[in-house]
Amino acid sequence: MTSFSIPIAAEVPSFSLQQLLQDQLGLQRGPVLTLVYGVTLCAAIFLPAVSLVAMFSIWWERKVAGHMQARLGPNRVGPIGLLQSLADGAKLILKEDLIPTSADHFLYRLAPYLAFAPAFAVFLALPFGPSFCFEPMLNVGVFWILAMLSVEVMGVILAGWASNNKWSIYGAMREACQMVSYEIPLGISILVAIMAAGTLNMVELGHMQSGGIHTWLIYKNPFVFLSFFVFFVASLASNKRAPFDLPESESELVAGFHTEYSGLRFSFFFFAEYAAMFVVGGIQTALFLGGWNDPFGLIGYFNHSLNVTYAADPSVNNAIPLLLLNCVAAGIFVTKAMGIVFVQMWIRWTVPRPRIDQVLYACVKVLLPMSMILLLCGAVWQLIVPDHPGLPWVDGFNPWNFAAWAHDGLASLITQVVLTLVGLTGFGMVVGWVLYSAATGRGHKQRLTDPSPIDEGTENLVKA
């Protein structure tokens, strides 16, 4: 049997956050410490991070929606309305917690937690930086995230079922339909990228893409490039984001699966949805868009050299620059993921909602065959076009030394550079259009109200 070379270097010197802490605090390694570390992380980092992401995204979504509909969005609480989500949260906590008498009380109470907990557990595998992945040895990182996202659906379906309300059950059934069908193109489009990478470990995926923008997986081959878009559409559906927000389509189902929920339980569903949006953005970032790496490969370069220094001399002085680098990397990762979240919002407020049969048609007859073809072509590509061996910056592989790369694998170099140029052109056109319309005031000409009608416009109103 022929054995294919898997493009992973055997040893990448990279220290995890846990290892760094153990070395510096002098603790004994083992499950006990892992347990303590895990609990501390959950309480100190995950919970605030998930809440912060959700709160910020809710505020941002309302701002984006306001801009697109020529309104202002929240602008009263705090500077530019930033504290609006906090005020809403306080209101929701103070609300009476109602449970319909004919509901299944146990399941009704359980459902919000079942929806929220997986969104929380997913953060375990997201790689925020070369050392800032909380479980770097999770060999099935991508798969774990998929598993958690599919468990989350259970919460939604149970909520609809337990409410014992027609609207809720319709919403839940649509969610089940949608999720069961869109999970397949979602998984297959991930598989195309995974095949090009050769690993399911999120940290290794990050290391693979650390050589600059042309080494990002989306530019690895044309099929990964296309499967990024398949994944994006499927992820919208699995997150029940518009145009696939049929489970809660407010124009026909009141509020869909969470019609009966109020107060804090209602807000759990909201938090879960926005956390899942960020998670999906994070998967796309980690899998396709280079993870924590900047477009020039600087993070990868410095990470490698700092790790080599730290391996030689594990002192505090060598640990601090490594941690600082990781903070920068985490900033880049969050920015990219939030960029994807922004595109999700942009689409939500632009595209109308289709019927459920159209949604299923789009999955079964368009996305599914497309992802299958991409998978097949991607596999053939792996066989025909040899990849450049090794990881960027490890063992003297400089990804910006195109002459040496052309010597090792001309076809892969040409593909990656051409695809990078295509991607950059597309991105540049979109950004250019947005900047042009902002500069020429297209956004403001169509505004129906004055930018701040209450603060400044009162005198004029009185005169009129």
* CB nearer another protein, residue 117 or residue 411: 117
* CB nearer another protein, residue 118 or residue 290: 118
* CB nearer another protein, residue 148 or residue 325: 148
- Please state, in angstroms and rounded to a whole number, the distance separating the CA atoms of residues 18 and 402: 37
> Min. distance of Cβ 19 from another protein in angstroms?
15
* CB nearer another protein, residue 32 or residue 430: 32
DSSP string, 112-147: HHHHHHHHHHGGGT--SSSS--SSTT-TTHHHHHHH
Cα dist from 267 to 54, 92, 148, 151, 274, whole Å: 10, 7, 20, 19, 11
* CB nearer another protein, residue 161 or residue 216: 161
Residue 369: φ, ψ to 5°: -60, -40
- Please state, in angstroms and rounded to a whole number, the distance separating the CA atoms of residues 217 and 290: 7
- What's the full length of the chain, in residues? 464
> Min. distance of Cβ 143 from another protein in angstroms?
4
> Min. distance of Cβ 179 from another protein in angstroms?
7
- Please state, in angstroms and rounded to a whole number, the distance separating the CA atoms of residues 194 and 196: 5
362-366's contacts with Cβ under 8 Å and 24+ in sequence apart are 362/233, 363/178, 363/181, 363/182, 363/184, 363/185, 363/234, 363/237, 364/181
* CB nearer another protein, residue 96 or residue 357: 357
Runs of H (alpha helix) within 130-221: 141-163, 166-197, 202-208
Six-digit token string for 369? 């065959």
> Min. distance of Cβ 431 from another protein in angstroms?
37
Residue 23: φ, ψ to 5°: -60, -45
> Min. distance of Cβ 395 from another protein in angstroms?
17
> Min. distance of Cβ 246 from another protein in angstroms?
15
* CB nearer another protein, residue 92 or residue 364: 364
Where do contacts with another protein occur on this chain (CB under 8 A)? 1, 6, 8, 10, 25-28, 30-33, 35-36, 102, 104, 106-107, 110, 114, 138-140, 143-144, 146-151, 153-154, 157-158, 161-162, 164, 169, 172-173, 176-177, 179-180, 183, 199-200, 357, 361, 365
* CB nearer another protein, residue 1 or residue 464: 1
Cis peptide bond N-terminal to 243, omega within 30: yes
> Min. distance of Cβ 387 from another protein in angstroms?
16
> Min. distance of Cβ 172 from another protein in angstroms?
7
Q: Are 103 and 164 in contact (CB under 8 A)?
A: yes
